[in-house]
Structure 1
Amino acid sequence: MARLFKAAILDDTLLPKILPQAIKSVEILEGDGGAGKIKLSKFGEANKFKSAKHRVDELDKENFVYSYSVIESDALKDGIEKFTNEVKFEASPNGGSICKTNSSIYTKGDVQITEEEIK
């Protein structure tokens, strides 16, 4: 599980190499890798959005938890302040790993987001 967490979360250069159609590049804009780090992901042809700026909210290497907020992106429509995502890796009973994610959308004011818009 530690190797998967390191590859998927800690190594910002790996995903653009193995999934270039989804992620073109990841650039570190601020920080040293822990909470507070700001990075810019530019998306590939398979994604309908062009880019997203992420802020790392939590990085727990011991418990394999990574939380981040999308703070700037063409995916943030009017009325949406940010998206947050928590990614957690757990051991599965068969010796593999399970990746669980939880996403939240924060709106500005009383803006209502429909289920169709979320999809």
Structure 2
Amino acid sequence: MSSISLSQEFTSPVAADRLFKALIIDSHNLIPKLMPQAIKSIEIIHGDGGAGSIKQINFAEGNHK
């Protein structure tokens, strides 16, 4: 088992709570729409999407660079 930690800061005209909801809470719906060439789908395997939830990321077929 492995874990990944990422940290990045940026400014946005969108409110922080709205960005958090879109990118973290609703990521299973949003990311496949934003990146259909790379992400086929994201499924919540266990939990409700909150802390401790397990998400399965299904990558699109093809050559990813």
* 1:27–1:40 Cα contact (<8 Å) kept: yes
- State yes or no: 1:2 paired with 2:17: yes
Partner of 2:42: 26
TM-score by length of structure 1 reads: 0.36
* 1:15–1:23 Cα contact (<8 Å) kept: yes
Moved over 3 A (4+): 45-48
In the aligned structure 2, how far is the partner of 1:6 from the partner of 1:19?
A: 18
Counterpart secondary structure, 1:13 = helix
Counterpart secondary structure, 2:40 = strand
Please state how far the C-alpha of 1:5 moved relative to its aligned partner. Answer: 1.3
* 1:30–1:38 Cα contact (<8 Å) kept: yes
Please state how far the C-alpha of 1:46 moved relative to its aligned partner. Answer: 5.7
CA RMSD of aligned residues (A): 1.8
- For this pair of structures, how many residues does the alignment match? 48
**Greater RCO (Cα-Cα under 8 Å, separation 6 or more):** 2
Amino acid at match of 1:36: G
TM-score by length of structure 2 reads: 0.61
Q: Name the one with the larger helix percent.
A: 2
Structure 1 residue ranges without an equivalent (≥5): 49-119
Please state how far the C-alpha of 1:47 moved relative to its aligned partner. Answer: 3.5
The structure having more radius of gyration, on CA atoms, is: 1
Q: Name the one with the larger strand percent.
A: 1
